[in-house]
Amino acid sequence: MSGGPSRVEVRQGSGGLELRVDGTLASVVGAGHGETGPVWAALAAPLLALPPPRRRRALILGLGAGAAARLLRALEPGLEITGVELDADVLAAARTHFGLDALGIETVHADAVEYVRREQRCFDLVIEDLFVGPNRSIHKPPALWDDGYRAAWQRVAAGGVLAVNTIHEGPRVRRALAALAPVPLQVGVRRYYNRIYVAGHALPGVAELRRRLAAEPLLRRHLPQLALRTLAP
């Protein structure tokens, strides 16, 4: 990414401190432990699709200011988290304004698709939250459509899940994921365009996942905005 300093903006919003990149809301971090906005709650929700013994290691592609990482850390304090972020200005803002270094995660400054192509470790949860372009024409990086999703899925441990955030390209993302693994679950966010597709084998049903989310105070507060839906094969 390139551009002047104004393309990365930090400001106070109604839900907490916001990071905006090219006009797009990239992260929200609230004042309390693990507090964030509903989009990042939806991204973290697939962690609870895994049984507790399988919540060991997570990879976030598109770390931003660390909103999803902060929530994952609060939900599972012992989770090993790796976050990959290409934009040096975003990482600088995350460290200066959002306390990124205090989260105790492995931070990688790299292109996320190149990273998953060369990484050898596997992760129980992989979150893909990659977008490029200005607010009105935001889209997925082209490399994802080449072999990026396949490389990301190869980094998912047996029994793990891949969660992908979408805005305008949901159907195309779903088709790309379905060529790799079952995609049984969608998490929508009411009043937002975001849809998170969750790929994996033997995931719990919507009723069970909703029960698990309701048992976690940090996610329970967002449940009215989360639309969990079972997808047909």
Q: Mean of the pLDDT values across residues 11-32?
A: 90
CA distance to 22, 140, 148, per residue, from 170 (Å): 21, 10, 16
Tokens coding 157: 């441990």
Residue 168 scores a pLDDT above 80: yes
Could you report the per-residue pLDDT of 45-73, keeping only the tens digit for each? 999 999 999 999 999 999 999 999 999 99
CA 70 to chain centre: 11
3 pLDDT more than 50: no
Q: Give me the phi and psi of 192, to 5 degrees please.
A: -125, 160
Phi-psi region of 159 (alpha: psi -120 to 50; beta: other; left: phi over 0): left
Put the strands of the sheet holding 195-200 in their side by side order: 106-109, 80-85, 57-61, 123-128, 156-166, 195-200, 185-189, 226-230
AA letter at 96:
T
Higher per-residue pLDDT: 16 or 6 = 16
Residues belonging to the chain: 233
Instruction: State the residue range of the domain holding 135.
Output: 5-230
What CA–CA distance (Å, rounded) separates 112 from 136?
A: 23
- Average pLDDT of 127-152? 94
**112-118-123 Cα angle (round to 5):** 70
% of the chain beyond a pLDDT of 70:
97
**What does the pLDDT look like over 66-108, one tens digit per residue?**
999 999 999 999 999 999 999 999 999 999 999 999 999 999 9
Q: Is the pLDDT of residue 1 over 50?
A: no
CB–CB of 62/39 below 8 Å? Answer: no
Residue 193 predicted with pLDDT over 60? yes
Predicted confidence (pLDDT) per residue in 104-134, tens digit: 999 999 999 999 999 999 999 999 999 998 8
pLDDT value at residue 6: 55
Residue 60, helix vs strand vs coil:
strand
Alpha-carbon distance 148 to 38, whole Å? Answer: 26
> How many separate domains does the chain show?
1
pLDDT for 96: 96
- Report the CATH number at residue 221: 3.40.50.150
Q: What is the mean pLDDT of residues 130-159?
A: 94
